[in-house]
Amino acid sequence: MNDDFLKYIKDEKDISRYKISLLEERTNKEYKYRLISIEKDFIDYPFEKNSFKDLDELKHAMSLFKTDRPQFERKFSKNIITKTRIVSGGHISSLQKKNKYYEDLYKYLLDIKIKEINLLQSEYIKSKLKNADEIIPAGIDSLSETEGVSLAKKRARIQILLYCLSRFIYHKTKKIGPLLAIGQMSFELYDELRKSLDNFFTDIKYELFNHYNNGIKEVPLLINGTLGHNNFVHTIYPLVNVVDKYPDSYCLKRVLTKDKIFFGKNKRPVNKKNIKRGVAMVTPIRRIGNEAINLLYLDLWTNNGISINSVMEKEFFNLSINNDYYKAIASKPVWAFNQNIDNNFLLREVLSLFELEDEPLVDGIDFGNLSILDKINKMDKGKMSICSESSKILIAATRSESEHIKEACGWIDLLIKEIRDDYKSLFHPITLQDKDRIDRVGKVKKLGE
């Protein structure tokens, strides 16, 4: 590759480093971590090992890398052999240190931090006192008396969510840990683990509440007799599992009206909100006025014992049925199923849903086949039956409890930001040399959101 190509690649990667530094200074919004992840992947990708016929093709490839990764892989990654990239002992050691950081963190959260959520050691809790200037005594009984019931319950929800956070960290590190003991690690596995650790909390929004009800039982055992002692943890309402509270024959099926189609004559998806939500699971919960019901945790299994979480969205929407509205949970858009099907057992369930079980489709759905698209447009009776005994659809017990939980989540969000900043300072520090190199590239246009 000639010097002009190499210089362009170097400059673009320097710009990405600068973008990352700007993004990291932004407020704590989930989308920024997605953008940072894209920029980091861009920096790590070995464009230098590919062959481009001219600079315009290189520019197009780099643009496509960020905007349409699957298309980039199809067009430009054929000649690049990432499998031969060597993963050294140093690379694996770096991953082990990162995983150890999180292993130590969940122990700290359960052994120390959860007990520090009290009037003496937490400025946040102290700020919630009606009389902020009131002198706080040191005894546990006196602290409880000063605190009052309302603040004790606020503190209890934070302690429960802190427990949930620690369990999330625990289970994620336990999955990663055994993979780090492999002597010869492929670059693909290394890259996957690196991304998982560097973007550790990407899926926290959808996983945090999995252990909430267990937290109500376990937290009192962790804080008993400490300054974090709380007599009101057991009074917090457990989350409600919709499939238990509202028994019904739950299933994933077409909810798009028969006069609508998923794909047009040009084979392209009809990219409208109601079409994207054309396959969904309807619940018996009716919408009442402007009542807001948030889906806190979702874990769906079919009657055949297959998880369908990878093809599901993680929020409610209101679906009109016979002039009434019900809470429903949409699947991913039909045309996005291939990239979200992670095993052949799930593929079989999806083929049955789309009424394609008689088609010879082994590796996925052929969305370039007009006959297949026509069958999907006309599907009517296909469905995935959901196992009520294995599945969870968790919501707050009451509307007011939902608001209380939302307030407690604000504290958890701040803690996660602190953890991310601490992790970055330990494993991704920006050196003066990096800053000088970034500054030489020049100013960058405002980042798009």
Say how far apart CA 164 and CA 209 lie, in whole Å: 6
Residue 14 reports pLDDT greater than 50: yes
- pLDDT tens across 195-207, in order? 899 999 998 999 9
Contact by Cβ (8 Å): 178, 79: no
Residue 449: which pLDDT band, with cuts at 50, 70 and 90?
very low
CB atoms within 10 A of CB 361: 17
Instruction: Name the nearest CA neighbour of 331 among 386, 370, 372, 412.
Output: 386
pLDDT value of residue 60 = 85
What's the whole-model pTM score? 0.78
pLDDT value of residue 278 = 95
Mean pLDDT of 147-164: 94
What is the largest distance, in Å, between two alpha-carbon atoms of the chain? 76
Q: Is 404 helix (H, G, I), strand (E, B) or coil?
A: helix
Residue type, 386: I
- pLDDT tens across 287-300, in order? 876 667 899 999 99
pLDDT value of residue 70 = 65
Computed over every residue of the chain, the mean pLDDT equals 85
Say how far apart CA 171 and CA 155 lie, in whole Å: 25
Say how far apart CA 386 and CA 414 lie, in whole Å: 36
pLDDT value of residue 46 = 81
Q: Strands of 251-254's sheet, edge to edge? A: 312-321, 324-331, 279-286, 251-254, 383-385
Say how far apart CA 443 and CA 448 lie, in whole Å: 15
Contacts (Cβ under 8 Å, ≥6 apart) of 143: 118, 119, 120, 136, 137, 227
pLDDT value of residue 105 = 96
Could you tell me if residue 391 is left (phi over 0), alpha (psi between -120 and 50 degrees) or otherwise beta?
A: beta
Contact by Cβ (8 Å): 397, 405: no
- pLDDT tens across 116-143, in order? 999 888 889 888 887 656 556 666 666 7
